[in-house]
Amino acid sequence: MALLQLNEEQIKTWTRAQKDEWWLANVFRGNMPQLTVRSAVTGFLLGGILAATAMYVLAKTGIGIGVGLTSVLLSFAMFRALSNARIASDFSVLENNCTQSIATSAGYVITPLGAGLTAYMAMTGNVLSWWQMMVWLVVVSITGVLMAFPMKRRFINEDQLPFPEGRACGVVLDSLYSGGADVGLFKAKLLYVTAGITAIWELLVLDGFQRLIQFKILRMNVWAGLKEPWVLHDHLDDYYYMWLAKLHVAAPKILGTDIRQLGLRFTLDFSMLGVGGLMGLAVASSVLIGGILNLAVLAPIMIERGDIVARTLANGHVVNISRAEIVNQWSIWWGVSMMVVGAMVGLFAKPDIFTKAFKSMSKRADAPAQRSDVLKHIEVPLWVSWVGVPVFGLAGAWVTHAFFGVPWLLSLVSLPLIYVLTIICANSMGLTSWMPSGPLAKVTQFTVGMIDRANPASNLLPASMTGTIVSNAASLLSDIKPGYMLGGKPRHQVWGHVIGIFSGAIFSVPLFFLLFLRPDANGAVDATKIISDTFPMPAAVQWRGVAEIISHGFKGAPVTAIWAAGIAAVAAVVLEALRVVTKGRFPLSAVSIGLGVVLPFDSCVSMWIGAMGFWILGRIYRTPGTKAHDIWVEGAEPICAGLISAAALMGICDAILNVVMG
C-alpha cells in the first residue's frame, strides 16, 4: 500500500492524541504477523552474521557500517525463494521489518569491541573473560533500549521526525511488498553475484583456505613437496618488488627510507572497495590525503630528524621502523587531534541538534494525551523505563566497577550525563541519520578524566558505556520508524531489538577472541598487541590517544609531535568551519583526514579507488531507467554490501581455518 503520513500543517497543529488516533485508524495493521518465530530466528542468525562482518570492517577502518537495508534484501529474497519452492508461506512486510530491526540491533552491539573496550585492553594489557564481556555489552545495551521508550512517543509520535535511515528502510520494504518485488530481487541478486565474485578472489589470496585445499584435500605437501601453500598475493606491489629484485634494482625511497617501511603499499582489498563506495568520493579523498600527508611527507622528515627511530626492547629485540611504529611514536598525536577536534567542532556547529532536542523534550504533554492513551495496548508502558533505567544503570555501573576496577563514584558520575546525551543523539539521528555517539562519549571521557587522571579505565569505560547506551537508544528509534510507517506494533520491535542485542553479543564476542586475542605458542595472550597492521583498530587508537592525553598529557612525545597536534587542532577548526560556511560543499573533512593518519595506506587507497569507481560510473550512467543505471547507480549499495560482507566472512572463515589447522 502507499505509505500514509501527516502533512506539515497537521504535524504542527494536531495534538499527540489526534496523531495517535489517526495512526491507529489509518496505518496500524492490527494482528498482521510481526515478531514470529521465523522472523526472530532469521533476524537472530542474520544479525549475528552481519554483526561479525561489521566488526571486521570496524577493526580495519574504524567505520561502523549499517546492516539494515542488507538484512531487508537478504531476508526478502530468501523467503521469496522458499515461498516459490512452496517450503514456506510468504514473509509479511512486518516480519521482514522485524528481521531488519533485530539484525540492525546486533550490528550496533559490536561498537565498543572496536573502540573503548579495545583501547582499554591495549593500554592495560588486561583481558576480560568472554562471559564478562558479554554481560557488560548486554547490560549496557539494554539500558539504551530502556532510555528510548519515552523518547519514541516524543520524537516519532509527536514530532514525526524523519529518521532518514529508518525511513529509507520503510520505503524499500513498502516497495517490495507493493509491486516492487522485482526491484528488490534484482538488488538482492546484485548482492549475491558480487559476494560470489569476491569470495572467489578471497579464496585465492587467503592462506587458510589454500592450506586446506592444497595440504588437507590434495595432499600436495606429500606428493609435490610443498612447504607452504601457493597463494595469489593480495599485496599486488609484491610482484613489483620481485621484479626489482630480479633486476637487482633497489626499492624506491623517500629521504632515505624504503617506502615499504613507510607502509606505502598497494593491496586489492574488496571490502575496502565496498567501504569506499558507501562513504563517497569526498570522504575517501580526505582519508587518502591524510594517509599521503602522514606517510609520504611528514614521516620521512621525522625519521630523518630522529623523532621516529628503531627501538630496542629490554630483551634486546630490535623493533624496526614500520607504519605501526610511525603512528605510535609520532603520528597518533596529530591524527587523534584532527579527529577529536574535528568531531567536536562538527557537533557544536549544529546548535539546532541541542536546542530542538531540549525544546521538544521540555514541551508539556497535551491534555488529551494525558487523559487517554489510545496506543497503550501496543506501546511499551513508560513505567518500564522509569524503573528499568535506574536498575540497569546501576547494574552497568556495578559491572564496570567489578570487571574493570573503575571506582563506584566515577561509574555513577557518568549516569546523569546519559539522559542529556541520549536526547541529543536521538534528535540528531531523527533529523539527519547522523549519530554523534563518538563525539558525545568524549564528553564523558574528558569529564571523568578530569576527576581521575591516573587510571585509564576510569575514563575509557564510563565513556564507552555512555556511547553504547546512546547509540542503542538512537538506533532503536531509527528501527521503530519503519515499523511506525508500516503500521507495526512498537512492543514487537522493542523485543526484536533486545533479541538483536543478544545475537550481536553471542556472535561477536567469541569472534573477537578468535581474531584479535589469539594466544601465542606458549598459550599467552598479549592484549597490548591487539592493534596491528592487519587490524589497525582506528577507533580504538583514537580512544587510547585521548586517554593517554588525559592520563599523561604529552609527556614523552617529541616536541615536533606536540607542535603537529596543535597545528592539526587549528586546521581541524578551519576545515570544519569551511564545511559549515559552505553548507557541506567544502570537500575536505578533518575527521576523515585524521582517520587516514591511523589507517594502513593500502586501505586508504582501496577505499579511494572504490569511491572514485562508483563516482565515475554514476557520471557515465546517469540516465534513469537504463540497465547500467540500475546496476551501477541504483544498485551501488547492494554491490558494496556484497563486497564487504563476502570479504569479511571469508576473512573470518580463514582465521577459523588457521586456528583449527594450527
Quote the CA–CA distance of 295 and 317 in Å, as a whole number.
25
The residues facing 267 across adjacent strands are 235
At 162 the three-state DSSP class reads: coil
Full DSSP string of 85-118: TTSSPPPPHHHHHHHHHHHHHHHHHTGGGGTHHH
Confidence at residue 368, expressed as pLDDT on a 0 to 100 scale: 41
The residue assigned the cell 589497525 is 536
Q: Evaluate whether 511 touches 52 at the Cβ level (below 8 Å).
A: yes
Q: Evaluate whether 252 touches 241 at the Cβ level (below 8 Å).
A: no
Confidence at residue 425, expressed as pLDDT on a 0 to 100 scale: 76
374's CB contacts (< 8 A; 6+ apart) are 17, 20, 21, 24
Q: Within 10 A of 604 (CB to CB), how many other CB atoms are there?
A: 28
Quote the CA–CA distance of 451 and 445 in Å, as a whole number.
10
Quote the CA–CA distance of 280 and 607 in Å, as a whole number.
9
Q: Evaluate whether 299 touches 326 at the Cβ level (below 8 Å).
A: yes
Quote the CA–CA distance of 495 and 493 in Å, as a whole number.
5
307's CB contacts (< 8 A; 6+ apart) are 329, 330, 558, 560, 561
Confidence at residue 111, expressed as pLDDT on a 0 to 100 scale: 83
Please give the DSSP secondary-structure letter assigned to residue 528.
G
Quote the CA–CA distance of 275 and 630 in Å, as a whole number.
20
Quote the CA–CA distance of 295 and 266 in Å, as a whole number.
13
The residues facing 657 across adjacent strands are none
302's CB contacts (< 8 A; 6+ apart) are 308, 326, 330, 558, 560
Cell numbers standing for residue 648? 569479511
Cα angle at 356 between 350 and 357, to 5 degrees? 100
Question: pTM of the prediction?
Answer: 0.77
Cell numbers standing for residue 395? 547494574
Q: How far is CA 270 from the centre of its chain?
A: 17
CA distances from 272 to 207, 632, 643 (A): 19, 17, 8
CA distances from 68 to 107, 490, 496, 637 (A): 9, 17, 13, 12
Confidence at residue 424, expressed as pLDDT on a 0 to 100 scale: 73
Nearest to 173 by CA among 86, 68, 89: 68
The residues facing 312 across adjacent strands are 318
CA distances from 273 to 269, 593, 637 (A): 6, 18, 12
Quote the CA–CA distance of 269 and 642 in Å, as a whole number.
13
Q: What is the maximum span of the chain, computed from C-alpha positions, in angstroms?
A: 86
Nearest to 152 by CA among 420, 423, 364: 423
Nearest to 50 by CA among 90, 117, 99, 112: 99
433's CB contacts (< 8 A; 6+ apart) are 163, 164, 165, 166, 478
Quote the CA–CA distance of 454 and 558 in Å, as a whole number.
22
pLDDT along the chain (662 residues), means of 10: 75 84 88 88 87 83 67 74 66 85 84 85 84 92 86 82 76 72 76 89 87 86 80 84 89 91 88 86 91 94 90 73 84 84 75 57 46 76 86 88 81 74 75 65 73 72 83 84 87 89 91 80 73 80 78 75 91 90 85 85 91 94 88 86 83 77 66
414's CB contacts (< 8 A; 6+ apart) are 397, 444, 447, 448, 462, 463, 465, 466
Quote the CA–CA distance of 125 and 102 in Å, as a whole number.
33
Cell numbers standing for residue 572? 581541524
Quote the CA–CA distance of 94 and 75 in Å, as a whole number.
12
The residue assigned the cell 580526505 is 286
Quote the CA–CA distance of 402 and 406 in Å, as a whole number.
8
Listed in order, strand segments (DSSP E) in 377-536 are: none
At 235 the three-state DSSP class reads: strand
The residue assigned the cell 557500517 is 65
